[in-house]
Structure 1
Amino acid sequence: MVAITEFQKIGFGLMGFSLFFLLFGVLLYFDSVLMAFGNILFLSSLTFIIGFRRTAHFFFQRHKFRGSFFFLGGVSLVLCRWPIVGILLESYGFVLLFRSFFPMALGFVLSAVNIPVLNTFFSSSSSMV
């Protein structure tokens, strides 16, 4: 069992708020203030969850330089009130940075079919006819 520290609990709370502000900013036609606040909360939550040194190491690895450049460039464009271009750059940088995590996440989602409660929702053997 992995123990979660108080800083990590704060980080997960900040992550929830950041996702809320980013989603709310997009729903309000790319409101730059809400999206900038969501980006700042996302970066600070990542720092709280994994630590400052690991966050810096994650973003500034040699093979992740292009993804970090696009992601942090998109954050800076959102902070400079260019939200649509900034979000597009952030999205591309996010995909480049976290592409090694996507197969693991997909495997986790596909393993949800084996959970008995969710199995009833995903079963394709029953037909409506």
Structure 2
Amino acid sequence: MISITEWQKIGVGITGFGAFFILLGALLYFDSVLLAFGNRHKLKGTSFFLGGVIVVLLRWPLLGMFLETYGFFSLFRGFFPVAFGFLGNAFNIPFLSELFRRLQGTSSMV
């Protein structure tokens, strides 16, 4: 009989959870209702991003990373104003404003 340590049992459990969620994600990916809500109108960005992944796997990493970056920016172009707007208003949130004030005071170079 093979002796299995506690760390190996934890690793097998985490691997099992990962395999389950990958299988669930693959099954839900091909669901027609979820595809209807998907990013069909962003086909250009998706194709550039996935094409960049394929180019990286074909051993052209610099070109692939440029394609992935272009695809990423074209996919999330509508989200950037929301994110920057939140960052601009983050100083008005009570907890974050206190955190920013404390971090600002500790940035001495000496």
TM-score bracket, normalised by the shorter chain, equals 0.5 to 0.7
For structure 2, the 5+ residue unaligned runs are 1-13, 105-110
Using the size of structure 1 for normalisation, the TM-score is 0.47
Match of 2:38 among 46, 53, 58: 58
Match of 2:97 among 100, 104, 116: 116
**Deviation string for 1:51-91 (max 9, x for gaps)?**
525579635x0x21111111111010011111100000000
- The residue type paired with residue 77 of structure 1 is V
Distance 2:82 2:37 in 1: 21
Aligned residues: 76
- The residue type paired with residue 88 of structure 2 is L
Match of 2:79 among 93, 97, 101: 101
Equivalences for residues 59-98 of structure 1 within 5 A: 59=39, 61=40, 63-98=41-76
Using the size of structure 2 for normalisation, the TM-score is 0.54
Kindly report structure 1 stretches of 4+ aligned residues shifted beyond 6 Å.
Answer: none
> Is the radius of gyration larger for structure 1 or structure 2?
2
| Percent of paired sites with the same residue | 45
For structure 1, the 5+ residue unaligned runs are 1-9, 15-43, 123-129
